[in-house]
Amino acid sequence: MKNWCIIFIILFETHPDVQDVFMPFKGLTREELRHNSELKTHALRIMGTVEKCLARINEPKKVFEMLHELGARHIMYTAKVDYIDLVGPQFILAIAPNLGDKWTSEAEEAWSDLFKMISSIMKGAMTL
């Protein structure tokens, strides 16, 4: 997938209130979002976090610490705890069509479980 912004574009379409929380993206159209460099950077940061989680899958303490710190930083951004759970399902909606036959129920379950873990740790840090 060339443009990871689609994750947020779909999220903003299904949950318009989330777009309003991101001040730089408030009121932008789908096309404007698609070419927004700040949104691309944010989407790439999320993909980087997913990549780091997978690279450290055998180091649960490091994964926990990284995600806990990320959750704590999201408090400073005034991110709503409930919104954290929305990213995983949007990721799945965005990536599944690109994988065609390679997308199986097992793959979907594995990705879903990964994002549930990410969300759980981040939300734990946000609700302390």
Determine the residue type at 17.
Answer: D
**Cα separation of 73 and 45, whole Å?**
13
Q: Name every residue whose Cβ is closer than 8 Å to that of residue 118 and which is 6 or more positions away in sequence.
A: 49, 50, 53, 67, 88
> Domain 5-126 in CATH: superfamily?
Globins (1.10.490.10)
Q: How far is CA 128 from CA 90, 106, 122, in A?
A: 26, 33, 11
Q: Which two tokens mark 34? A: 């698609």
Tens digit of pLDDT for each residue in 59-72?
999 999 999 999 99
Tens digit of pLDDT for each residue in 21-32?
888 999 999 999
Domain ranges of the chain: 5-126
**Cα separation of 19 and 9, whole Å?**
9
Q: Which two tokens mark 106? A: 């097992």
Tens digit of pLDDT for each residue in 51-98?
999 999 999 999 999 999 999 999 888 888 999 999 999 889 888 988
